[in-house]
Amino acid sequence: MAAPVKLLMLENFIDGKFLPCNSYIDSYDPSTGEVYCKVPNSGKEEVHIRHSVFNMKLAMFHLSSFCHAGDESKVLHVLVKCSTPEIEAAVQAARGAFPGWSSKSPQERAQVLNRLADLLEQSLEELAQAESKDQGKTLTMARTMDIPRAVQNFRFFASSVLHHTTECTQMDHLGCLHYTVRTPVGIAGLISPWNLPLYLLTWKIAPAIAAGNTVIAKPSELTSVTAWMLCKLLDKAGVPPGVINIVFGVGPRAGEALVSHPEVPLISFTGSQPTAERITQLSAPHCKKLSLELGGKNPAIIFEDANLEECIPTTIRSSFANQGEICLCTSRIFVQKSIYSEFLKRFVEATRKWKVGIPSDPSACMGALISKEHLEKVRSYIKRARAEGAHILCGEGVDNLNLPPRNQAGYFMLPTVITDIKDESCCMKEEIFGPVTCVVPFDSEEEVIRRANGVKYGLAATVWSSNVGRIHRVAKKLQSGLVWTNCWLIRELNLPFGGMKSSGIGREGAKDSHDFFTEIKTITVKHE
């Protein structure tokens, strides 16, 4: 009889110490569908207590809602929201660490960030292995993109924090000098997603602590392992206890407790629009600063003069990289009618060569999707497209997927191309967040701009053309926070990152992140 598999047990990290939790949730290996890790289920607990309506002891409880059980019973079911010990402890730790950390010079804080970057880099292989297993992405992607970018995030903000300037003006006729200063906000609440776990967590932590804030971070409960591993490096890097606190758990418990806490004045969130709406509701009574980086329904516009030798492989990557689980992935491809047939033929051929395999396979281009539930959601879009009369040219339900026996229960699917689909279809309107893209023809420049802008999202777009004038013209008219032309995912971290419309609020980047994580103050000095 095989010995039971020992599960990895994570702990919250608060005030420089790992602390156990009373409740845990299962975390699955997406490539096998097996539980391999236990994640703390931090946050408020809800307890139902049945009392008589005349029992005055109810006044002793914090009552969040009442539900009548019937007039004849004369009882109430009372929902009592208990305290949130993990978040309260993290707030206390962050509050206590703030005076010392915020009083350090930018140079001192930068040294700590650089040491942390060095330690991450020294642990690159271990972190990449963990990220691949936890998220389902290929080990190659974790090695070459996720972990190196996490390292870069700390180094980048360690440098940029040293180069910010402030404003100064004079009013000589009144004998006044005006200048601005920027000060850290306080405790920053950071909520990061499951698709690029350490990459996007550090994209928030680095600028927050570089500016002098202390932080409470809640990673996704689906991908918590590399955040936990990061905590093991903080003391050695010289991060004082309480500066970085990480509380694990689900959104409705740990997330809501963090967002609604009155001593957390700032929330940076990357994730879905429905969750952002809830964050906005909970933050409104406290007038919190919000940075919301949400989804996209990103178009690629391919004109007849595009270089298809470069365009097709890049658009394959922009559609299916990381299993299509990147907010910047292309999910609507508009191709000018004169080259539509040629493009479609070559694109489908290239898609069939985009290998799906177990994450450790160095030849695999794509690994497993994050969860069983997400896999079913993505598949449901393909079923709806088929029901609407669209054609599935390759991928799900068309081609065979071959996997080793141990991975048969994993959350894999083939990259899928849909055509003959209307712009009004849910597959052309809603964010699928999986390896599915739709290819449709267009006639004119004006038409494709209108259709590309005809969704509620506005995060990113790509334009393919050899006409420089057209590139500038179209890029300016597209309702997208980022527009790549003849390329994809080439990032300059100094410049703003973020979307328009329902793709979010605010921007991230060197100056934008610094502005968000600080408060500006104008000081006037009257002199003789």
Using one digit for the tens of pLDDT, what is the confidence trace for 347-393?
999 999 999 999 999 999 999 999 999 999 999 999 999 999 999 99
Beta strand ranges found along 315-361 (DSSP E): 330-336
Count of other CB atoms within 10 angstroms of residue 409: 14
Q: Which of 86, 221, 293, 396 is catalytic?
A: 293
Q: Is 415 exposed, middle or buried (0-12, 13-18, 19+ CB in 10 A)?
A: buried
Which tokens is 400 given?
A: 């065979």
pTM of the entire structure? 0.92
Q: Are the C-beta atoms of residues 32 and 358 closer than 8 Å to each other?
A: no
Which tokens is 247 given?
A: 């509380």
| Stronger pLDDT, 2 or 288, i.e. the higher one | 288
In eight-state DSSP terms, residue 130 is H
pLDDT tier at 159, thresholds 50, 70, 90: very high
| Burial readout 105-123 (b: 16 or more C-beta within 10 A, e: otherwise) | ebeebbebbebbbbbbbeb
Residue-wise pLDDT for 45-56, tens only, equals 554 433 333 333
For residue 452, how many C-alpha atoms fall within 13 Å in the half-sphere facing its CB?
32
Residue-wise pLDDT for 296-318, tens only, equals 999 999 999 999 999 999 999 99
Please indicate whether residue 431 is annotated as part of the active site.
no
Residue-wise pLDDT for 446-487, tens only, equals 999 999 999 999 999 999 999 999 999 999 999 999 999 999
Residue-wise pLDDT for 215-234, tens only, equals 999 999 999 999 999 999 99
Q: Residue 67 pLDDT more than 70?
A: no
